[in-house]
Structure 1
Amino acid sequence: MKLKGVDTMATEIIMPKAGMDMVEGTVIKWLVKEGDKVETGDPILEILTDKVNMEVEAETSGTILKILADEGDVLPVLTIIGYMGEEGENVPDAAPVQAESQDKPQERAVAEAPKEEKKEAASQPKSEDAYDVVVLGAGPGGYVAAIRAAQLGAKTAIVEKQYFGGTCLNVGCIPTKTLVKNAEILHQIDHAASRGIIVAKPEIDMAKVKQNKDKVVKTLTGGIGSLLKSNKVAIFDGLGTVKNDNTLEVTDGKDAGKKISFDKLIIATGSVPMIPPIPGLDLPGIMTSTEILDLTEIPEELVIIGGGVIGCEFATIYNSFGTKVTVVEMMPKLIPNMDEDLSAELKKQLKKSGVEVMTESKVEKVEAAGDRFKVTVSGANDTEIEAEKVLVAIGRKANMAGLEEIDIKKDRVIQVDDYLRTSKENIFAVGDITGKIQLAHLASAQGMKAAENAMGQKKKMDYRYVPSCIYTIPEIGSVGLSEEEARKKYDIKIGKFPMNVSGKAIAMGETEGFVKIITDKKYGEILGVHIVGPNATELVAEATAVMKLEGTIEELGDIIHAHPTISEAVMEAAHDVHGECIHLPKK
């Protein structure tokens, strides 16, 4: 906070300039009210800048005399937003500040919207409970759709029954990656001695681990709320039940009983963990990917039912924490839908780190064994496993809550066309509910397109180049066709470059993994890129960009990559497609 004296007048509270590039900030929440006494260092309000929440502290002691800015206002830096000082001090006569910048992004977006849409919105003002676009669900697909619709000039509302950010930010991508970072730190400590760094065996305080995870989640979800408010999106708290007459009723929340009408509806209700019909999975203490994030003690043993992305990431996390982890997967390989070489490498690395991996194995039942569990497994591994905890991670299913009455084509998922439109002309759907690829970044991309199409544009979804990331140790990044898929359609050539030949990987001591590139032999089209190794989840972005721009394998190999970097392995694999890799022995 910046405080500036005004002679004998009160002290101004000013929107701070928290960084060279900051030009405006959003008032998220006042933590004080007029008349409150504060001491130096006390937090007095919360602001948003660059999508990050921060608390503004008092730089002097005194009384809050006047608050000029409302919560949700977007204001230029150095704007006076209040006064503090001694009781009875004079406060300049000042009208509440005008949040002019709050309207500018929307005004610019309206200018870019189709002309016919702007005219319609201008000539037909909506009543208080009527909206151009209503979004059901505030996950990575929903909140993006709502903001984009608002940018295009729509009067927009969003209905959310639980929390901003959906599964991804609250019990999915973000919290798990926060835990993965802890696993990476422990991995580095475990290998520090080989680099001449002697470190005592680390201790893990799971209560603080959870506290840090919760702090990260709070920061990001708070930022989403502020972004919605700054774009003037109306927020409704509760479960939205859609009727068949262009109305939606809010139930089971703070806004229960409110009815909203819409011209266009975007459904983004996401998914929930799937529980298979295995006897015993309804026992108290059986966890899904939601409950395991709230553990405050490290379990001695953990059985993970399911060897997909979720199961393998939690295996990495808790194995690094010192838990004896067993992964049971019914299919012949881990991450069954991905390239065979990725699956084989992941299994090798998990086993090398101490995880027991059972593929082609089925959990028959789970029984209570005192305060523990007994898991009966059949198939390639006929055995019984005793464990303190059991995690069910076989996947997720579409969340149809609130959609029971709506007359659109739906079964286990909602059917949409390439423009995200359902069987009803004015209703769209995005994210996991559509049954496409269950990834947060795809949901966000769909949300953008659905909002644009709802506002009269015609943007088609392209699912060919959707990158997938797995945050194990080492990481995995993948985009395009697997080798198995490519062989069914093309005459292919493959280039491969191992990380144990990469100078940067050797210097880092992270030599496990490879880059594999699959191409069409005739035209050099890049069909798929699969990476295991350090920074693989970042490296896959380069491959995705080149493929999206229809670059050939020759063009990828011709790009000059900085040295020494892990990214050089992508260039080397491109050269290897034609047997021209400089840093591999001639085949």
Structure 2
Amino acid sequence: MADSFDVVVLGGGTGGYSCALRAAGLGLTVGLVEKAKVGGTCLHWGCIPTKAFLHAAEVAEHAKEGPDLGIQSSFDGVDMPRVLDYKNGIVDANWKGLQATMKAKGIETIHGHGTLTGPNTITVETDDGERQIEASKAMVLATGSKPKTIPIAEVDGELIITSDEAMYLESVPKKPIVLGASAVGVEFATVWNGYGAEEVTIVEALDAVVPREDIDTQKALARALKKAGIKAITGEMVEDVKAGDGTVTVTTDKGTTVEGDLLMVAIGRGPVTENMGMDSTGVELDRGFITVDEYCKTGVTFGDGGVVYAIGDVIPTLGLAHASFMEGMMVAEQIAGNPVVPIDYRGVPKVYYCTPEIGAVGYTEQELKEEGIEFDAKTFPFSHNARAMMQGGQGHVKVLAAKDGGKVLGVHIVGPHATDLIAEGQMIYNWEALPTDVAEFIHPHPTLSEAVGEAHMALAGKALHG
């Protein structure tokens, strides 16, 4: 006999466990199948551990800058085993807390590799043998993603790695090469540069670093990377990789050659759908991603009104942990019969924890031009903000709004604590505020948040310091 639950979730990452927690909170019985550790990529190999590394790099940078502020400090190197202990402590504390929360909610976690045998059934290979799991109301597919690789750069875990292997490096590479200039690439470049690497090089096939972001964000980050001593090669495709004897040599299609002691492939992540029994469910796949509608429904049903959903990195949305949280909760609400509103993914903030940080929500300038939407734009530089000056901050806040006083269409921040400041931008965009509305808000002084207010004041025709 199969173990039956109202909801079965396959995958315990951010999307999976948020769905499980909300469903349990709504009174549904929940079984969650996870082959590794609940928390998934974000907690164990992505968001949380990388930010621990970045905090350590920030402390290293502060040590270097101390004498400029009259502080007697110096940077004497990095003890990577101690950094790893620090990172592992943060991850383990969050993991234990998550497990305790799930247990308290009555969620049963089934540890083992799950294979779908139908739209509402899973066979799980556990340490104690095989278990049959069945869903009566909903099957939620949240199998996550894995780093993408390329044939010419075979990952060996030593000279050529992905972000997964970077979690466990016990020494700082002297001359790392990073393939890819999106979030993972620029963040690790920041980490290794902060740790004192002799030379850090980024190679990006598209024409700019953080190629999906606003054009002025791209330019500001490029300037900051150059100032920090990080070399960014853009608009060049890697054509050949040679590795051996402790050296990696990368050659691009334009003849550029870069030599280092480590190559990290950071070209994005791909969905985990192979060898999962997906074909037995009837779900449609496109380039490996599960096809869903705006409510995360796959179109597959079973029994008396049962529905198969898919959430998180396994569907072609943003691939961000915080978007997965909302997808999981939205699905749980539907299973419980509650009304929901589809997610506006353009209104989900994107964040990059490089130096300087990046936060963005809404349209970019390029997207507005491509769609023929008329707009006004104003930028307020952090060089005019006293708090940012104290922190050596660089960058700006840029606001895009519909022409002639219309609603805010995009907020783009590159500078100190941009990942925190974008929360206000998210509220402004999603509530369709006008620049004149925001111009009436009083921001505390002296704070970085004043830059957000000043950019909107400028767009409202009330520029003060800009």
Residues 1:554 and 2:430 are matched in the alignment: no
Q: 1:573 aligns with which of 451, 455, 460?
A: 455
Q: Which residue of 2 aligns with 1:195?
A: 69
Residues 1:449 and 2:330 are matched in the alignment: yes
Q: Which residue of 2 aligns with 1:415?
A: 291
Q: 2:364 aligns with which of 452, 477, 482?
A: 482
Equivalents in 2 of 1:523, 1:262: separation in Å?
51
Q: Flag the 1:560–1:373 CA change in 2: closer, same or farther, 3 A.
A: same
**Partner amino acid, structure 1, of 2:446:** P
Q: 1:133, 1:262 within 8 Å by CA — same for their partners in 2? A: yes
Residues 1:250 and 2:132 are matched in the alignment: no
Q: 1:495, 1:578 within 8 Å by CA — same for their partners in 2? A: no
Equivalents in 1 of 2:208, 2:392: separation in Å?
27
Equivalents in 1 of 2:54, 2:168: separation in Å?
15
Q: 2:350, 2:359 within 8 Å by CA — same for their partners in 1? A: yes
Range with bigger deviation, 336-345 or 282-291: 282-291
- Gap regions ≥5 residues in structure 1: 1-126
Shift of 1:535: 1.1
Q: Which residue of 2 aligns with 1:394?
A: 267
Q: Flag the 1:211–1:135 CA change in 2: closer, same or farther, 3 A.
A: same
Equivalents in 2 of 1:284, 1:180: separation in Å?
21
Mapping for residues 185-584 of structure 1, pairs under 5 Å:
185-244=59-118, 246-251=120-125, 253-254=126-127, 256-263=129-136, 264-277=138-151, 279-283=152-156, 285=158, 286-323=160-197, 324-379=199-254, 382-401=255-274, 402-404=276-278, 405-411=280-286, 412-425=288-301, 426-462=307-343, 463-487=345-369, 488-510=371-393, 512-584=394-466
Could you list the per-position Cα deviations for residues 324-374 of structure 1 after superposition, in whole angstroms to 9, with x for gaps in the alignment? 211000000011111111111111111111111100112112112312222
Q: 2:206, 2:234 within 8 Å by CA — same for their partners in 1? A: yes
Shift of 1:443: 0.2
**Partner amino acid, structure 2, of 1:332:** D
Equivalents in 2 of 1:274, 1:561: separation in Å?
43
Shift of 1:283: 4.4
Q: 1:283, 1:368 within 8 Å by CA — same for their partners in 2? A: no
Could you list the per-position Cα deviations for residues 446-472 of structure 1 after superposition, in whole angstroms to 9, with x for gaps in the alignment? 000011112222313222310011001
Q: Flag the 1:280–1:397 CA change in 2: closer, same or farther, 3 A.
A: closer
Could you list the per-position Cα deviations for residues 370-394 of structure 1 after superposition, in whole angstroms to 9, with x for gaps in the alignment? 1222222232xx2322211110000
Q: 2:248, 2:261 within 8 Å by CA — same for their partners in 1? A: yes
Q: Which residue of 2 aligns with 1:146?
A: 20
Q: 1:491, 1:522 within 8 Å by CA — same for their partners in 2? A: no
Equivalents in 1 of 2:27, 2:245: separation in Å?
60
User: Which structure: greater helix fraction?
Assistant: 2
Equivalents in 1 of 2:59, 2:121: separation in Å?
50
SS for the counterpart of 1:248 is strand
Shift of 1:153: 1.1
Alignment coverage as a number of residue pairs: 453
TM (norm. structure 2) is 0.94
Q: 1:237, 1:255 within 8 Å by CA — same for their partners in 2? A: no
**Partner amino acid, structure 2, of 1:435:** P
Q: Which residue of 1 aligns with 2:304?
A: none
Shift of 1:284: 5.4
Q: Flag the 1:524–1:135 CA change in 2: closer, same or farther, 3 A.
A: same
**Partner amino acid, structure 2, of 1:447:** G
Q: RMSD between aligned alpha carbons? A: 1.5
Higher RCO (CA-CA < 8 Å; seq separation 6+): 2
SS for the counterpart of 2:295 is coil
SS for the counterpart of 2:300 is coil
Q: 1:467, 1:544 within 8 Å by CA — same for their partners in 2? A: yes
Equivalents in 1 of 2:417, 2:277: separation in Å?
40
Equivalents in 1 of 2:338, 2:123: separation in Å?
28
Range with bigger deviation, 168-177 or 498-507: 498-507
**Partner amino acid, structure 2, of 1:305:** L
**Partner amino acid, structure 2, of 1:390:** L
Q: Flag the 1:245–1:280 CA change in 2: closer, same or farther, 3 A.
A: closer
Specify the structure having the higher radius of gyration (Cα).
Answer: 1
Equivalents in 1 of 2:68, 2:240: separation in Å?
43
